[in-house]
Structure 1
Amino acid sequence: MSRRDVVPRAERAEFPAPPPSKCAKVLYYTWRLCSVVFSHFVMISLVVAYCILGAVTFEKLEAAHEKESTMSNDLVMLCRQVKMNISQLRRNTTDSIWTMTKDSALFSEANWTKDVVVMLKDFENAILLEMKVRGWDGSESTDHIQWTFTGALFYSIIVITTIGQYS
């Protein structure tokens, strides 16, 4: 049979397809529902896994730099000295304010406030000096680690949302 022998579509008798059975409809819509649910489930699972993997990676890479075993002894001693200086500075300021308050024969709010403001400004300047010059991070604990799993997970989520925002 050649192409010329083929009957044009308009001349052919077309028979409508039989309507799908109820079983076929149920199977079709179940398949559609499963494909939508599982595609979203897989996508969400991949994002969660990516965040957890990123958190573990960030924690392993960054926490090692904060632990004493990886720091040189000089750096460890410097960090401890700075943290001890801050603790001593806080104690001295508190003691000075208490001694001034206790030893005053006549308590005048204006004079007391003026003296305390001077002491607190000195304390503030000393804190700023420790932060700018010696790199104090605000922690007085010598075993404090900033990169915990929770912090690394938060950082990982922030990275994903920032990248998603600009892409």
Structure 2
Amino acid sequence: MTTSFYDLECKDKKGESFKFDQLKGKVVLIVNVASKCGFTPQYKELEELYKKYQDKGFVILGFPCNQFGKQEPGSDEQITEFCQLNYGVTFPIMKKIDVNGSNADSVYNYLKSQKAGLLGFKGIKWNFEKFLVDSNGKVVQRFSSLTKPSSLDQEIQSLLSK
């Protein structure tokens, strides 16, 4: 079992290993994303946050997931192209994964174990749930799909200043 955020590893959109130890000292926002969801326009605000704070030690990792209404049916290449063409996304988009169930990716199993959602529910309820991780690798906050990325600005600023 993973004992630290920095022990995590996943696959990037090309299927290559992405080790979380490279995120040490950074504030990280992890989001399960989908291209055909009512929340898809959040990509715009996510990209704005990323551009605003990336030079200050902020990273966003997007994890495409097709578990909610089959709203992310494309291949990893199609997803990346969609994000870039429609929202100018430059933050890292990882390989498509499951976030719930027996095939859930270890990244999401770890995140859910660290911060439960509303009423203690551990599962991911829908696309665009967000986990905010501080520069020490602690999962400090979990936000529902309804939370607009722009509303996280103050909290991100605060974590970056620590």
Q: How would you bin the TM-score normalised by the shorter chain?
A: under 0.3
Between Structure 1 and Structure 2, the one with more strand by share is 2
Structure (1 or 2) with the larger CA radius of gyration:
1
TM-score by length of 2: 0.18
Between Structure 1 and Structure 2, the one with more helix by share is 1
